[in-house]
């Protein structure tokens, strides 16, 4: 099945570049800015089902109108406008909104809307405000509970909740600024953590993280926009250093009391992940991962007393275990849940009971589950997104829980994302592929298209774009398939030689080459091809969604195996008669910046020019959670840190290297680049450096045009 699909895909991809046949040329602003606006494919913004109904809604392109339709018709109508909502908000002496965003349908006629920190609930049928929550502007993380009809939020190092009667209750606070409650930045958002506040299923309790950072080293961040410049210290635990201590607490809203969940069994230097409420609200489940990240215990605790109940199961691995999801309880069979695990080498779903008994492995195969959409009403099936058809595609499946049988519901190649009705009889499918910019259909539970909602036109049809194709190369191990994407100049003369830019990321949790519009690469790649460059992207081993062994080959030696695979890409490129092997450049950001500097200093004879953005220069400067997962600590793996540090390779540099860094980067802190500058000056090695003083880990907004102009000019000047 997979081989047949890929052969068909390859045929499509080989001709994908030929659909662009006009003469208009891209500008840099088109490639960097307009690609998100005028040149973005048509879309139905935030399309979703209206509660349990068969009606759907989405936000129109002007963001001031909500449109609606039903499963059986392609006809859409205006449902409500910003003007109509504002009329009711002002009539109730409430704040106005400027546009719709973050809409959540609570029922067929009632939606929740968060506009900045103003949260309100609106009935479109009655055209009236049901409830509103005027959360203070300083609040950072706001979570609504439908069952409690209340919002909880953190503000500074305090936690509050606000009920529908506008009662403000502060339920966690500390005078010590090192104690942080309810933050979504616990463990630096590793392990899938995206929130620090967890409402219980019936809205009677709020679980929340308590983070003690008092023992963590401070890192100075300089604000150059003040006069004089000022320093803001952030907590940044670097690899091998003392880390934060995190616990979980539960607040009882009715009793107005808090209990500590007793996760400290003599060991505080661990991670609390996968927070899951039991449907009964009597228990809470926590994944306890050790500092070495190779031993996970999934524990059950009494949510009312905080007492440990039992360990349901444990997972170990000689390299690392990486839990990234909470447990998923069956809606009706409340003593059963599904658990994501890579224990067989691929990310799959496992069926457990609440006593820790494994019922069975639900999904199985040399592919990974990438999303979970829910259960059928009879709980005999689950609906997932996965890579079973092909590693660069995403498809929607129904899976029989008992037999594991897969039923493919999305029949067109590409990347499919689903939103199911409550009863799972229909789903809205959003498809993007190399030859379809955007397609939205309503599909039934047999995989048949019920209603076609949108087939976006090619927004680049007036432009003469480059040719592009996707292909497969063997990794440096000679066995593993790697996907690449190559963009070549329009009307390329194969009797001439062209310079090459290798765009690289290469790190965990990212896959660049995908069967999506433009092949998953940016429009800048096409712009540079238009300017006479070949642009090449390869997903090496270590990147995402190809299985555990594919990713953890990097363990204790980040960059080493990844570079070997990238050099297989170079071998392919230099085998092409029209590639100038003396003009090969490389560019990447973050982990890609690390890869850029690594390639420039490990293979200095190959790469003539490099542009590295926000690069990790030495992994000892990176944070504990991510860094130690892949590298262990500097104390236990000194050889790995030594061999991967750019500081020990910069003397090899022969080409032109531009390093770019955000001045207030809290992710890859600027000390990485500063030490590289010091080392290069000490050795008499010339590198170029540019800083965006008020940018964090990436350069965004209109300033990004400035960034990409600098990157473009550097390649044009030196490559």
Cite the active site residues: 590, 665, 697
CA distances from 87 to 80, 84, 123, 357 (A): 11, 5, 13, 56
The token duo for 122 is 């609106």
Tell me which DSSP letter residue 327 carries.
-
Our CA angle for 323, 555, 658, nearest 5°, is 105
Report the side by side order of strands in the sheet with 656-662. Answer: 467-474, 481-488, 534-538, 498-503, 579-589, 609-613, 656-662, 688-692
Give strand pairing partners of 486: 469, 536
DSSP assignments along 140-185, one per residue = --EEEETTTTEEEEEETTEEEEEETT--EEEEE--SSTTEEES-TT
Helix (H) or strand (E) holding 88: helix 82-91
Tell me how far apart the alpha carbons of residues 548 and 16 are, in angstroms, rounded to a whole number: 31
What are the φ/ψ torsions at residue 714 (nearest 5 degrees)?
A: -65, -45
Rounded Cα–Cα distance for residues 404 and 155 (Å): 46
Q: Which residues contact 311 (CB under 8 A, 6 or more apart)?
A: 297, 298, 299, 300, 356
d(CA 340, CA 277): 16
Whether 160 and 153 have beta carbons less than 8 Å apart is answered as yes
Cα–Cα distance, 681 to 399 (Å, whole number): 59
> Up-side HSE of residue 273: CA atoms within 13 Å toward CB?
27
Assess contact for 524 and 530: CB atoms under 8 A: no
Q: How many helices (H) and strands (E) does the chain have?
A: 11, 43
Angle at 524 between CA 590 and CA 492, to 5 degrees: 125
Phi, psi angles (nearest 5°) of residue 324:
-130, 5
Paired with 429 in beta bridges are 418, 441
Beta partners for residue 625, in sequence order? none
Strands (E), 187-238: 197-199, 205-212, 218-223, 230-235
Handedness of CA 422, 426, 428, 431 (dihedral sign): positive
Cα end-to-end distance, the chain, whole Å: 43
- Give the DSSP letter string of 232-288: EEEE--BTTS---EEEEEEEETTTTEEEE----SS--SEEEEEEEE-TTSSEEEEEE
Q: Which residues pair with 81 in a beta bridge?
A: 65
């Amino acid at each position: 099945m997979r081989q047949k699909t890929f052969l068909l895909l390859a045929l499509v991809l080989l001709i994908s570049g030929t659909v662009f046949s006009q003469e208009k040329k891209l500008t840099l602003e088109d490639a960097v800015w307009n690609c998100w606006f005028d040149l973005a494919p048509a879309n139905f913004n935030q399309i979703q089902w209206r509660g349990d109904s068969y009606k759907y809604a989405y936000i129109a392109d002007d963001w001031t109108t909500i449109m609606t339709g039903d499963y059986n018709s392609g006809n859409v109508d205006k449902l409500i406008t910003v003007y109509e909502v504002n009329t009711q908000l002002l009539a109730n002496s409430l704040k106005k909104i400027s546009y719709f965003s973050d809409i959540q349908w609570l029922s067929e006629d009632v939606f929740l809307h968060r506009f900045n920190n103003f949260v309100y609930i609106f009935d479109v049928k009655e055209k009236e405000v049901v409830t509103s929550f005027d959360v203070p502007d300083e609040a950072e993380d706001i979570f609504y509970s439908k069952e409690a009809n209340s919002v909880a939020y953190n503000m500074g190092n305090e936690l509050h909740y606000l009920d529908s009667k506008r009662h403000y209750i502060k339920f966690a606070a500390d005078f010590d600024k090192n104690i942080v409650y309810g933050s979504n930045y616990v463990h630096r958002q590793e392990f899938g953590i995206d929130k620090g506040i967890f409402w219980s299923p019936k809205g009677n309790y709020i679980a929340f993280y308590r983070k003690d950072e008092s023992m963590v080293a401070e890192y100075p961040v300089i604000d150059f926009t003040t006069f004089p410049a000022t320093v803001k210290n952030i907590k940044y635990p670097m690899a091998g250093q003392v880390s934060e201590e995190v616990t979980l607490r539960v607040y009882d809203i009715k009793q107005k009391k808090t209990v500590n969940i007793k996760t400290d069994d003599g060991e505080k230097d661990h991670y609390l992940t996968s927070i899951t409420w039991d449907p009964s609200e009597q228990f809470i489940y926590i994944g306890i991962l050790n500092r070495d990240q190779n031993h996970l215990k999934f524990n059950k605790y009494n949510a009312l007393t905080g007492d440990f109940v039992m360990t349901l199961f444990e997972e170990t691995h000689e390299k690392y275990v990486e839990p990234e999801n909470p447990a998923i309880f069956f809606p009706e069979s409340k003593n059963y849940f599904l658990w994501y695990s890579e224990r067989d080498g691929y990310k799959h779903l496992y069926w457990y009971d609440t006593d820790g008994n494994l019922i069975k492995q639900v999904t199985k195969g040399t592919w990974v589950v990438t999303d979970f959409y829910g259960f059928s009403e009879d709980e005999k099936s689950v609906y997932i997104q996965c890579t079973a058809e092909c590693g660069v595609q995403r498809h929607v499946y129904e899976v029989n829980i008992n037999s594991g049988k897969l039923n493919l519901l999305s029949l067109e190649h590409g990347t499919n994302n689903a939103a199911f009705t409550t009863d799972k009889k229909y789903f809205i499918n959003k498809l993007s592929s190399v030859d379809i910019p955007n397609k939205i259909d309503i599909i039934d539970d047999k995989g048949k298209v019920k209603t076609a909602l949108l087939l976006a036109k090619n927004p680049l049809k007036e432009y003469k774009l480059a040719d592009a194709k996707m292909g497969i190369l063997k990794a440096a191990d000679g066995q593993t398939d790697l996907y690449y994407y190559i963009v070549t100049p329009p009307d390329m003369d194969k009797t001439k030689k062209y310079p090459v830019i290798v765009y690289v990321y290469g790190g965990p949790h990212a896959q660049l080459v995908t069967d999506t519009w433009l092949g998953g690469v940016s429009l800048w790649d096409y712009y540079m091809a238009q300017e006479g460059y070949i642009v090449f992207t390869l997903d090496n081993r270590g990147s995402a969604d190809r299985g555990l062994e594919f990713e953890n080959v990097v363990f204790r030696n980040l960059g080493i195996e990844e570079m070997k695979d990238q050099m297989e890409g170079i071998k392919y490129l230099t085998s092409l008669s029209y590639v100038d092997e003396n003009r090969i450049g490389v560019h990447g950001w973050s982990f890609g910046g690390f890869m850029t500097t690594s390639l420039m200093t490990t293979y200095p004879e190959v790469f003539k020019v490099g542009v590295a953005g926000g690069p990790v220069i030495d992994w000892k400067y990176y944070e504990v959670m991510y860094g130690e997962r892949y590298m262990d600590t500097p104390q236990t793996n000194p050889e790995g840190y030594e061999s991967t540090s750019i500081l020990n390779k910069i003397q090899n540099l022969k080409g032109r290297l531009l390093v770019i860094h955000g001045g207030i980067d809290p992710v890859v802190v600027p000390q990485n680049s500063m030490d590289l500058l010091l080392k290069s000056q000490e050795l008499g090695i010339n590198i170029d450096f540019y800083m965006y003083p008020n940018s964090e880990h990436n350069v965004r907004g209109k300033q990004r045009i400035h960034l990409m102009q600098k990157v473009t000019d550097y390649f044009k000047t030196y490559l």
